[in-house]
């Protein structure tokens, strides 16, 4: 069994290959949100500061990105369909993990994303041979047989080898290796292996495919109605991801005619699209996994907000974050900051009417905006100036928190004007993360109201009983 030091050393090697992520890790580890020890000098110590689960999520997402970005530039390999299916498997694995109370849904999500990563590796190393053997394969089992006959290893074995080479102290490699095995063979396996197996089966199923749907019953005790609903939900979520990020991930890209060789400009264009899609898939994995981590924290408002802040710091580099949360009865926006330097924010209240503040206007339109943009038209109010001064920033970017049709509040990021273009480039993944953060906050509000109602009813019953005892004593 690996020690934590060995695991962290391996993770450090992986993340160091991804410059953008490693810079975020270094910045986040120096934040007061993670304690800010003065004696941190090495990258491995910085990782330990963030926590093993968090950096393992980063490492796996980074590893997927590195593999994906190194796939040979061939338009014949349908990456959009490949990642559409992978994201569907990942989403199904997450939903199944939540349904079955598996304690690490983010691990299940990333495992689902990796199930067929061996295909990428085989294509990269044997492009012409793999194109031929995969051209008319009727299903994955036939594909695996051909892979073994022609190359000597199938994509499950190669994917498991790759996941195992990261040494991340997880059953992910086994889940990848066995996800095409007959259900009976994995019936008593570790829950992650069974979850991955069912997620893969459901990702290939249609509502009338009872054999694949039956895997859920056999392995996890899920009823036939549940998998059908999960498939529809997963595909809807993947479609929403594609729409919110304005990318095509589940439709065919189309291939070239047999024997045709793409011109260099076409190859360059394909490479640019592939690299962009690689980054977007990594962002999807990171955002979804960190959002799951937010949902799994201690059920207190401060705990949820702290988890959101930490995730924002690593995902997007935001270190100056405050919140305005909407009162469910009056609609008033109440400031909330976890930093003692900004404690006056907690005394601020913004009326929910147009023109009272950039924050109120953003929530009325439900579209993100900044004080810089609003300020160009002279629309800033004293409240906006106060917020910027309390954040000790030149201005701020306001991201609404909306759960379905319910406004929960807003996240504000303190910025210098020169930082705004970079933030606007990240608006899609920021919005995607905000939607999931809002759902977590909305769920907390519902649970908190239920607890308060139960406490009130218990207190009322206790008082009534006391009055009855007093009445009987005086009778």
CATH number of the domain that residue 196 is part of: 1.10.3210
285 and 226 within one domain: yes
Q: How far apart are CA 405 and CA 38, in angstroms?
A: 44
Pair 307, 290 in one domain: no
Q: Is 238 within the bounds of a domain?
A: yes
Q: Which residue has the higher pLDDT, 201 or 51?
A: 201
Tokens of 78: 């349908």
Asked whether residue 241 is assigned to any structural domain, the reply reads yes
Q: Are residues 339 and 441 in the same domain?
A: yes
Confidence band, pLDDT 50/70/90 cuts, at residue 263: very low
The answer as to whether 464 is a domain residue is no
Contact 358, 379 (CB under 8 A): yes
Region 347-374: mean pLDDT is 92
Whether 398 shows a pLDDT value over 90: the answer reads: yes
Q: Is the domain of 317 the same as that of 240?
A: no
- Does 224 or 97 have the greater pLDDT score? 97
The region, left, alpha or beta by phi > 0 then psi within -120 to 50, assigned to residue 203 is alpha
Q: Is the residue at 19 inside a domain?
A: no
296 pLDDT more than 90: no
Instruction: Using pLDDT thresholds of 50, 70 and 90, give the confidence band for residue 123.
Output: confident
Shared domain check, 261 and 173:
yes
Who wins on pLDDT, 78 or 143?
143
Question: d(Cα 386, Cα 413) in Å, to the nearest integer?
Answer: 14
Structural domain that includes position 381 = 301-456
- Kindly state the DSSP code that residue 139 receives in the 8-state scheme: S
3-class DSSP assignment, residue 59: helix
Q: Which two tokens stand for residue 471?
A: 């009445």
Q: How far apart are CA 251 and CA 248, in angstroms?
A: 6
Q: What average pLDDT score do residues 280-292 get?
A: 54
> Structural domain tally of the chain?
2
pLDDT at 197: 92
Mean pLDDT, range 83-89, rounded to an integer: 83
Residue reference for tokens 């007959």: 182
Mean pLDDT across 169-194? 89
Strands 333-336 and 349-350: antiparallel
Verify that 71 and 112 share a domain, yes or no.
Answer: yes
Cα three-residue angle 434-435-440, rounded to 5 degrees:
95
Averaging pLDDT over each range in 110-124, 153-167, 180-194, which range is the top one?
180-194
Q: What pLDDT shows up at residue 448?
A: 74
Residue 313 vs residue 47, higher pLDDT:
313
Supply the pLDDT for residue 346. 93
Judgement on whether residues 262 and 348 belong to the same structural domain of the protein: no
Question: What are the phi and psi torsion angles at 152 (to 5°)?
Answer: 105, -15
- The pLDDT assigned to 274 comes to 53
| Pairwise CA distance, residues 231 & 81, whole Å | 17
Burial (Cβ within 10 Å: 0-12, 13-18, ≥19) of residue 69: middle
Burial of 173 per CB tally in 10 Å (0-12, 13-18, 19+): buried
Cα(235)–Cα(463) distance, integer angstroms:
51
Among 295, 317, 351, which residue terminates a domain? 295
- Look at residue 432 and tell me if it is in a domain: yes
pLDDT band at 65 (very low <50, low <70, confident <90, very high): low
**Whole-angstrom Cα distance, residue 90 to residue 250?**
14
Q: Would you mind telling me the total number of residues written for the chain in this entry?
A: 475
pLDDT at 182 > cutoff 60 = yes
How far apart are the C-alpha atoms of 12 and 56, rounded to whole Å? 10
* 286 and 311 share one domain: no
Does residue 134 sit in the same domain as residue 162? yes
Nearest-angstrom CA–CA distance, 49 and 8 = 11
Q: What Rg value do the Cα atoms of the chain yield, rounded? A: 25
**3-class DSSP assignment, residue 80:** helix
In this structure, are 270 and 328 located in the same domain? no
CA pair distance 56, 34, nearest whole angstrom: 16
Distances (CA, A) of 428 to 57, 241, 275: 21, 10, 17
Q: What is the pLDDT of residues 208-261, one digit of tens each?
A: 566 666 767 678 877 656 677 788 888 887 877 666 555 566 533 333 333 344
Residue 161 pLDDT exceeds 50: yes
pLDDT (0 to 100) of residue 139: 83
Confirm whether 107 is domain-assigned.
Answer: yes
Contact 344, 390 (CB under 8 A): yes
Task: Tell me if 39 is assigned to some domain.
Answer: no
Amino acid 259: pLDDT? 38
pLDDT on residue 68: 55
Q: What is the pLDDT of residue 21?
A: 55
Whether 280 has a pLDDT exceeding 80, the answer reads: no
In this prediction, residue 258 carries a pLDDT of 36
Confidence check: pLDDT of 72 > 70: no
d(C-alpha 22, C-alpha 44), whole Å: 11
**What sign has the CA pseudo-torsion 37, 41, 46, 52?**
negative
Q: How confident is the model at residue 326 (pLDDT cuts 50, 70, 90)?
A: very high
Q: Which of 266, 295, 324 is the last residue in one of the domains?
A: 295
Q: What are phi and psi of 246, to 5 degrees?
A: 55, 45
What confidence score (pLDDT) does residue 331 get? 92
- CA-nearest of 184, 222, 219, 215 to 201 is 215
Which structure tokens are listed for 139?
Answer: 């299903």
Alpha helices in 101-224 (DSSP H): 105-114, 117-125, 127-134, 140-150, 155-165, 172-177, 191-203, 210-220
Question: Does any domain span residue 470?
Answer: no
Tell me if 220 sits within 8 A of 100, measured CB to CB: yes
Which residues 6+ apart lie within 8 Å of 205 measured at CB? 212, 213, 227, 231
Q: Decide: helix, strand or coil at residue 411.
A: strand
Q: What is the CATH number of the domain that holds 415?
A: 3.30.450.40
Neighbour count for residue 304 (Cβ, 10 Å): 19
State percent of the chain over pLDDT 70.
61
Answer whether 201's CB lies under 8 Å from 216's CB. yes
Lowest pLDDT segment from 85-89, 382-386, 469-473: 469-473
State residue 255's pLDDT score.
Answer: 36
Give CA–CA dist 318/312, Å, rounded.
Answer: 6
**pLDDT value for 320:** 92
- Residues 340 and 365 reside in one and the same domain: yes
Pairwise CA distance, residues 286 & 316, whole Å: 11
Q: Across the beta sheet with 395-403, what order do the strands follow?
A: 349-350, 333-336, 321-326, 406-415, 395-403, 369-370
Neighbours of 2 (CB within 10 A): 12
* Span 323-327, average pLDDT: 95
Residues 225 and 340 in one domain: no
Rounded to an integer, the average pLDDT of 336-352 is 89
pLDDT at 333 over 70: yes
- From CA 365, how far away is CA 312, in angstroms rounded? 23
């Amino acid at each position: 069994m690996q020690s934590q030091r060995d695991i962290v050393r391996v993770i450090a090697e992986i993340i160091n290959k991804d410059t953008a992520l490693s810079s975020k890790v270094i910045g986040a580890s120096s934040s007061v949100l993670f304690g800010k020890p003065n004696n941190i000098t090495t990258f491995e110590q910085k990782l330990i500061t963030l926590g093993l689960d968090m950096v393992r999520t980063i490492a796996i997402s980074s590893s997927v990105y590195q593999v994906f970005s190194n796939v040979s530039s061939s338009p014949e390999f349908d990456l959009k369909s490949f990642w559409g299916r992978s994201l569907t498997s990942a989403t199904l694995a997450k939903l199944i993990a939540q349904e079955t109370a598996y304690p690490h849904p983010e691990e299940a999500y990333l495992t689902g994303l990796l199930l067929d990563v061996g295909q990428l590796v085989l294509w990269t190393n044997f492009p012409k041979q793999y194109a031929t053997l995969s051209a008319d394969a009727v299903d994955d089992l036939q594909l695996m047989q051909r892979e073994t006959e022609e190359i000597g290893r199938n994509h499950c074995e190669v994917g498991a080898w790759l996941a195992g080479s990261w040494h991340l102290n997880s059953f992910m490699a086994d889940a990848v290796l066995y996800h095409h095995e007959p259900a009976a063979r994995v019936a008593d396996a570790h829950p992650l292996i069974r979850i991955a197996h069912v997620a893969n089966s459901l990702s290939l199923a249609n509502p009338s495919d009872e054999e694949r749907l039956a895997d859920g019953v056999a392995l996890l005790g899920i009823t036939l109605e549940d998998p059908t609903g999960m498939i529809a939900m997963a595909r809807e979520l993947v479609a929403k991801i594609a729409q919110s990020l304005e990318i095509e991930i589940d439709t065919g890209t189309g291939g070239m005619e047999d024997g045709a060789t793409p011109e260099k400009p076409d190859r360059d264009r394909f490479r640019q699209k592939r690299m962009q899609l690689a980054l977007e898939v990594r962002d999807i994995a990171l955002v979804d996994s960190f959002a799951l981590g937010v949902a799994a924290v201690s059920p207190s408002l401060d705990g949820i907000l702290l988890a959101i802040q930490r995730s924002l710091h690593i995902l997007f580099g935001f270190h100056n974050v405050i919140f305005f949360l909407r009162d469910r009865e009056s609609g008033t926006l109440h400031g909330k900051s976890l930093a003692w330097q900004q404690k006056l924010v907690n005394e601020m209240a913004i009326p929910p009417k147009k023109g009272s503040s950039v924050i109120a206007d953003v929530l009325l339109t439900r579209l993100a905006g900044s004080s810089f943009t609003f300020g160009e038209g002279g629309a800033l109010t004293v409240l906006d100036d106060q917020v910027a001064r309390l954040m000790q920033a030149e201005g701020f970017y306001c991201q609404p928190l909306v759960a379905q049709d319910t406004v929960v509040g807003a996240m504000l990021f303190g910025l210098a004007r020169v930082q705004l273009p970079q933030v606007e480039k990240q608006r899609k993944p920021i919005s995607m993360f905000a939607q999931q953060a809002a759902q977590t906050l909305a769920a907390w509000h519902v649970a908190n109201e239920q607890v308060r109602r139960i406490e009130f009813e218990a207190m009322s019953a206790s008082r009534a009983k006391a009055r009855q005892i007093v009445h009987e004593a005086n009778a």
